[in-house]
Chains A and B, each alone.
Chain A
Amino acid sequence: MSPWLHKQRNLLDFTLSSLSRRRGKTLGMMAVYTSIVFVLASVMLFSHAIRREAATVLAKSPEVLVQRMVAGRHDLIPARYLDAIKGVRGVQSAEGRLWGYLFDPAAAANYTLMVPTNPRIEPGKVVIGDGVVRARSADPGDLMSFRAHDGALVQFKVDKTISRDSALVSADLFLVAEEDFRRLFGIAPGLFTDLAISVRNPREVTKIAEKIDAALPDTRIILRDEILRTYESVFDWREGMLLVLLAGSILAFAIFSWEKASGLSAEERREIGILKAVGWETGDVIRLKMLEGMVVSLSAFLIGYLLAYLHVFHFGAGLFEPVLKGWAVLYPKYRLAPFVDELQVATLFFFTVFPYTIATVVPIWRAAIVDPDTVMR
C-alpha cells in the first residue's frame, strides 16, 4: 500500500474513534439527520413511483377517446359513430368500450366495471382486482350477486383474480362479459360508453381529433397526452404541497445542524490544538473533520434512504398515503413497483450530505489556523 493510502486509512480509523468518543452528539445528530432524509426520500420515491404507475396505465389506454355529449353531460354513444370515425384518414382502428361504476352495498365500495375484448370474459363469470378480493374476501369459484337496474338479481362466479402490474389502478377492477354488463345497467345493444381509437401515426393525433370533431359535432375528444398532463399536474401539486410543508422542517434541520456541527466546543478546540502541536497540518485536521462530517452524513443518508425505500415499497407509504393518493376508496393496502431514479438520488444526496459536511468544516477552518502554541498554556 502506498503511504497515501495508509494515511487515509489511519485518518479514517481515527475519525471513527473520534466519533465514537462523542457518542451522544454523534448519535443524536445521526437520528435527526436520518429522519430528514427518510421523509424527503419517501416523498420523492413515492411520488415518482406513483407517477410512473400512472404512465404505465396510460400507456395501455387508447390514444384517442370519443365521448358523446348530451346537454353538456357524458352520454352513451351509438355504434354508428364508429363508421364515421373509421372513415377518417389515419385512423387505424376504432371500437366501442363499455365501462362504469358499480356500488357494492355489501362492501360499501365502488368497483370499476369494464368489458375487456381481449380476452373476452365468459358470461356469468367475473375477474376481479385484489382490492375487490380483499373487500369481499372472495376467492375463485365464489358467487357474487348484484341487483341489476330493474331489481333483478345478477350472479357472477369469480373466475380468477388479476395479477397486478399496477396495483393502484387494478385493485378495484371488476371485469365482466358484454351481455352481463348490458343486463346489469340496461344498456341496449348498439350503445357504448365511449369509443377508443388508435391512430396510425402518433404525430397526427391532433389532426385526426380535429377531423373527428368536425364530423361528429356532439362529441368530446380526449387525448391520452392530455390525461397524462393532467395527472402530472395533479401529482405535482400534491407533491409540491408536501414539499412546502417539508421545507419548514428542512430549514429547522439546517439551523440545527449548523448549530450542532459548527459550534466548536472548548474540548474540540483543545483537541485541534493538540493535533496541530504534535505535527498535524491544518489540512490534515480539516480532512479529519471533513471525514467525520462525511461519515455522519453518509451513513445517515444511506440509512434514511433505505428506510424510505422500505417504507414506500414494502409498507405502502403508510405515513402520507392520505395526502398523496387522495381519492382512494378501495386501496387500503397496495404495493408500488419499486423504482429508483439516479438523478433523484443524486439531488437528495447533494442537498443533504454536502451542506452538512461544509457546515462541519467551516468552523474547523477557523480553529485550525489558530497558532498551535496555545496548547502550551
Chain B
Amino acid sequence: MIHLSDVRKAFNQGKPNEFWALKGIDLSVRAGKVTVFRGPSGSGKTTLLTLVGCLARPTTGRVRLRDRDISGLPERFLTDIRRSTFGFVFQQFNLLKGISAVENVMVPAYPLGRCRTELSARAHALMDSLDIGPKAHSNAEWLSGGEAQRVAIARALINDPEVVIADEPTANLDSERSKQFLGIVETLKASGKTVLMTSHDPLVCDTEVVDHVVSLRDGQLVDTR
C-alpha cells in the first residue's frame, strides 16, 4: 500500500554539514503485514519511518500511498493523511506530562471534533484492551516504561488508523515486556492493521508475526526478506 521509489533524504542541504541519510530507497510496504526496518545505528531507519508516516517529505524521489503521490503535498494535506492513516508510537513514547493517561490517549482525536463522551468511552475501551484500564487516571509521568508504551499504543490507535508505526518499540523494555509488545502487534495484525517498526532487536526480527525485514546500512537497502 505504500511505495517508495528512489527516495533520498538530505539534512542541512546546501550547507557544509550536508548529510544524506537516505541514498535511494525503493521499497513497497504491503497492507496488513508487519514490516521491520533493521540496521546499525545511524543507518537511516528512523528517517525512513518519518517519510513513510508523512512526518517529513523526501528531498527527492516519490512516496505513494495507495495510488496517491504524497511526496509533494503541502503540510496541511500531509497532516490530514497522517491523522487518518497513521498512528505513531515514538521511541521515547512522548506522552504529554502533567495530564492523565486517558487524556493523552484522546489528544489526537481533539481536532476531529468528536463527541467527548464517546471519545472517552473509546479511550477507556482501548486502554482496557491493553490492560492499562486501571491506570487511566494516573498522571502520565508516573507510569512505568511498559505502561507508558501501552498508553502510547492506545494513543496511536484512538483515530483507528490503518497503519501503526513504532520506532524502536522494544528498546526500553526487558525481554518479558518485549514479548508482551509483540503480543499486541499480533492482535493489531489480526485486526487488519499494517504495522511498521524499526528495531535492532533479534528477538523482534525473528518472531513469527513479522512478515518482512528490511535491512539498511548507510542509507541504503542491503537486504529484504
On A, residues with C-beta under 8 Å from B are 1-7, 9-11, 13-14, 17-18, 20-22, 267, 270-271, 273-282, 284, 371-373, 375-377
Q: With A21-B99, A278-B88 as known contacts, state yes or no: A7 contacts B55, CB within 8 Å.
A: no
Determine the chain A residues whose CB is within 8 A of the CB of B155 once the complex forms. 278
Contact A3–B114 (Cβ < 8 Å) = yes
> Which residues of B67-104 have CB atoms within 8 Å of chain A's CB atoms?
75-76, 79-80, 82-84, 88, 90-91, 94, 96-99, 103
Contact A10–B55 (Cβ < 8 Å) = no
Determine the chain A residues whose CB is within 8 A of the CB of B96 once the complex forms. 271, 274
- Give 11 A-B pairs besides A270-B94, A278-B155, A282-B76 with Cβ atoms closer than 8 angstroms: A3-B113, A7-B110, A7-B111, A17-B99, A277-B55, A279-B84, A280-B110, A281-B79, A376-B49, A376-B55, A377-B46
Contact with A along B152-175 (1 / 0, CB 8 A): 000100010000000100000000
Determine the chain B residues whose CB is within 8 A of the CB of A2 once the complex forms. 113
Closest to A287 in B: B111
Q: With A275-B107, A376-B167 as known contacts, state yes or no: A21 contacts B98, CB within 8 Å.
A: yes
Q: With A277-B90, A279-B82, A376-B167 as known contacts, state yes or no: A13 contacts B112, CB within 8 Å.
A: no
Contact B112–A3 (Cβ < 8 Å) = yes
Does B108 make an interface contact (CB < 8 A)? Answer: yes
| 9 shortest interchain CB distances as A-B pairs | A21-B98, A279-B83, A3-B113, A7-B113, A278-B108, A373-B56, A373-B50, A373-B55, A10-B110
- Within the complex, the shortest CB–CB distance from A351 to chain B, in Å, comes to 32
CA distance A213 to B5 in the complex (A): 101
Determine the chain B residues whose CB is within 8 A of the CB of A6 once the complex forms. 113-116
Tell me the count of chain B residues lying within 8 A, CB to CB, of chain A: 36
CA distance A6 to B75 in the complex (A): 24
Q: With A21-B99, A22-B98 as known contacts, state yes or no: A276 contacts B79, CB within 8 Å.
A: yes
> Which residues of B14-65 have CB atoms within 8 Å of chain A's CB atoms?
46, 49-50, 55-56
Closest to A2 in B: B113
A-B residue pairs in contact (CB < 8 Å), sample of 24: A4-B113, A5-B113, A6-B113, A7-B111, A7-B113, A10-B113, A14-B103, A17-B103, A21-B97, A21-B99, A22-B98, A275-B107, A278-B107, A279-B83, A279-B108, A279-B159, A280-B79, A280-B108, A281-B76, A281-B111, A372-B56, A375-B90, A376-B167, A377-B46
Closest to B167 in A: A376
Q: Is the interface of A mostly helix, strand, loop or mixed?
A: helix
Determine the chain A residues whose CB is within 8 A of the CB of B82 once the complex forms. 277, 279, 372
CA distance A99 to B66 in the complex (A): 97
Determine the chain B residues whose CB is within 8 A of the CB of A1 once the complex forms. 115
Q: Most A CB atoms within 10 A — which of B56, B110, B155?
A: B110
Closest to B156 in A: A278
Closest to A7 in B: B113
Q: Most B CB atoms within 10 A — which of A6, A18, A21, A278?
A: A278
CA distance A271 to B111 in the complex (A): 16
Determine the chain A residues whose CB is within 8 A of the CB of B159 once the complex forms. 279
Contact A10–B108 (Cβ < 8 Å) = no
> Which residues of B156-197 have CB atoms within 8 Å of chain A's CB atoms?
159, 167
CA distance A1 to B97 in the complex (A): 30
Q: Most B CB atoms within 10 A — which of A2, A3, A5, A274?
A: A274
Determine the chain B residues whose CB is within 8 A of the CB of A9 once the complex forms. 116
CA distance A17 to B98 in the complex (A): 8
Closest to A282 in B: B75
Determine the chain B residues whose CB is within 8 A of the CB of A275 once the complex forms. 107
Closest to A372 in B: B55
Determine the chain A residues whose CB is within 8 A of the CB of B114 once the complex forms. 3, 6, 10
> Which residues of B107-130 have CB atoms within 8 Å of chain A's CB atoms?
107-116, 119
Q: Most B CB atoms within 10 A — which of A276, A277, A279, A376?
A: A279
- Within the complex, the shortest CB–CB distance from B153 to chain A, in Å, comes to 13
Closest to B198 in A: A376
Determine the chain B residues whose CB is within 8 A of the CB of A21 once the complex forms. 97-99
CA distance A282 to B119 in the complex (A): 22
- Within the complex, the shortest CB–CB distance from A166 to chain B, in Å, comes to 53
Contact A277–B112 (Cβ < 8 Å) = no
- Within the complex, the shortest CB–CB distance from B57 to chain A, in Å, comes to 9
Determine the chain A residues whose CB is within 8 A of the CB of B91 once the complex forms. 376
Determine the chain B residues whose CB is within 8 A of the CB of A5 once the complex forms. 113
CA distance A12 to B223 in the complex (A): 49
Contact B110–A11 (Cβ < 8 Å) = yes
Contact A7–B112 (Cβ < 8 Å) = yes
- Point out the residue from B49, B88, B94, B116 that lies within 8 Å of A10, measured CB to CB: B116
